[in-house]
Amino acid sequence: MNELENKVVELLKTIYDPEIPVDIYELGLIYEVKIDQENNVVIEMTLTSPNCPVAESLPLEVEQKIESFPAFKSAKVNIVFDPPWDKDMMSEEAQLELGFL
């Protein structure tokens, strides 16, 4: 990962799922981060379920958090449900935190 990708991950780790006390990156909700040559960021992410209560606000929060960092020109979040999220996508740290390990 390059320096800008690391910064995106750092910013994503400050955003928490409101129902689970773990950040969205460690939860495995982030599928892909792309940064083009002009520092526009595109993130593919999913939600813990299609009926997630923050389905509308969470992607906006992610975009605003990324765009608040001066190095990034813009941020766009694409919500995808393929593959569907499940608890095996969580990091070991997240699984430990939630008592799955």
Do the domain assignments include residue 97? Answer: no
Do the domain assignments include residue 27? Answer: yes
In tens, the pLDDT along 62-85 reads 999 999 999 999 999 999 999 999
The CATH number given to whatever domain includes residue 64 is: 3.30.300.130
| Helices 3-12 & 57-67 angle (0-180, nearest 10) | 140
Do the domain assignments include residue 10? Answer: yes
In tens, the pLDDT along 7-19 reads 999 999 999 988 8
* Complete edge-to-edge strand list for the sheet that includes strand 40-45: 30-35, 40-45, 74-79
Do the domain assignments include residue 12? Answer: yes
Do the domain assignments include residue 75? Answer: yes
* CA distance linking residue 11 with residue 30, whole number of Å: 12
Domain around 9: 3-90
* CA distance linking residue 24 with residue 48, whole number of Å: 10
Q: What are the two backbone dihedrals, phi and then psi, of residue 76, each rounded to the nearest 5 degrees?
A: -135, 130
Do the domain assignments include residue 96? Answer: no
pTM score, whole prediction: 0.92
Do the domain assignments include residue 99? Answer: no
